[in-house]
Amino acid sequence: MNVKRILWYAARLLSAILVGFYLSIMIGGLIEGEGISNDGESIGMTVLTLFGAAAVIYAWIDARRGGWAIVAIGVAFTIFALVTAGQRHWIAVLGGGVPFLLIGLLFLLSHEK
């Protein structure tokens, strides 16, 4: 198996795990009756999660454009984490933005000719 094929599988597997993780948190909260709060942080996380899921679906169809979309979501998550996190900004960035950035790069590398 060549390296491009490994990157192709890794991008798809890791993106499914990442988006599944974020969506399970969101859906779990809705099932428990918490709903989506009206504060800016909850709305921001919801919007970024939904756009992240859409970007991953798009990346499965078109790895180059979808990879760039996932990188853009990663940058948005990073900025969002830096703005909204309390004292531990870097932990929020590592948990929010960095995984999307790395997965976006995997999609882009798997598409390179």
> What confidence category does residue 94 fall into, taking pLDDT thresholds of 50, 70 and 90?
confident
In 62-107 the beta strands, taken as DSSP E runs, fall at none
Ramachandran quadrant class, 35 (left: phi over 0; alpha: psi -120 to 50; beta: rest): left
- From CA 103, how far away is CA 18, in angstroms rounded? 9
Question: pLDDT per residue over 61-80, tens digit each?
Answer: 999 999 999 999 999 988 88
Q: Which two tokens stand for residue 60?
A: 């499965």
Q: pTM score, two decimals?
A: 0.86
